[in-house]
Structure 1
Amino acid sequence: MARYHNHKIRLTPRYIEALHELIEAELEMMKEQDKDYSECWSWGICTVGNFSKPNHLYLTFGDEESRPKGMSRNTCVREDC
């Protein structure tokens, strides 16, 4: 579960879907803008940390060679416990 200070919080389906949409939009934008390296934008992961910190969302992107094992979708949202 994600946290807010020391409190565990449950991410809502709407919030999770919004993060998937954000990752998809960034992948699309960067493939278009960074044509020389568009293959570097194959997948993205958003790790949600502690909401009390300004950097509670951590985004990671990569190419097919660096895709995490078992990652079948192009986007993933996970919680950093």
Structure 2
Amino acid sequence: MDKKKSSKYLPVSVIEGAIQGEPEAIRAVWRRYDYYINTLCSRPYQDYYGNIRFMIDLSMKDFLKAQLAWAIMNNFKIEYEKK
């Protein structure tokens, strides 16, 4: 069984859609970076038995996702070189 190879890069069409504010494109970017965002939002807590565990701070995750969407729509520029 061959597993489908996935690129580590997002297609240009998705990036262009995210820059224009298309919801599906922004969700695709969020899905691509979900693991990284979860890592940034992990916070330690101590359970009833004294064990240290990690949980995701959902308010921080929502904030980071909003900041990512804002940065994409306001700061990204794609410049094409003509050959």
User: Same-fold call, TM > 0.5?
Assistant: no
Q: When you count helix as a share of all residues, which structure comes out higher?
A: 2
Larger radius of gyration: 2
Q: When you count strand as a share of all residues, which structure comes out higher?
A: 1
| TM-score normalised by L of structure 1 | 0.31
Higher relative contact order (CA 8 A, sep 6+): 1
